[in-house]
Structure 1
Amino acid sequence: SFSGDLSGLLREFEPLCEGYKEAVKRVEQLMAQIEAIRDKWNDWSETQRIIQMMMRTIENDLLELRKGTDNSEVNC
């Protein structure tokens, strides 16, 4: 009968539907992990940029000190 055939098809389709839902869930989890990694990478990139700026400042200060210029701030 038609309704029996339809019920059979729906039963066969059900595992596919569940598999699709599981795949979507896994992709969403993967995207969340990728976003977390990207955030950490951006944080590390910013930290590295700050460290490089500090190193340049220190190098410039040392260069000025070698030239005999006292660029330190003394508060008396």
Structure 2
Amino acid sequence: MAEKAPLRTRIREAGGLYLWFNSALIRLAGPPHVSPNLPRNRDADPCGHCGARKDEHRAQADGSLACPTPR
């Protein structure tokens, strides 16, 4: 069985303590989970009631959205 390199050498070869720790953590825990909602523009999603874009709605005092008036 081959001997492991000393920890100091492995850290230096990885590019520093942060990169060494990050790669070890990814090996143990797996890649980070990314939300599927991050890249989307949530304001452009259609309303479930009227079908208009959510950014066309008016915000009410209680924080809810009011559907736009029909044209």
More strand by percentage: 2
For CA contacts below 8 A with separation 6 or more, give which structure has more relative contact order.
Answer: 2
Task: Mark the structure with the bigger radius of gyration.
Answer: 1
Q: Assess same fold via TM > 0.5.
A: no
* TM-score normalised per structure 2: 0.30
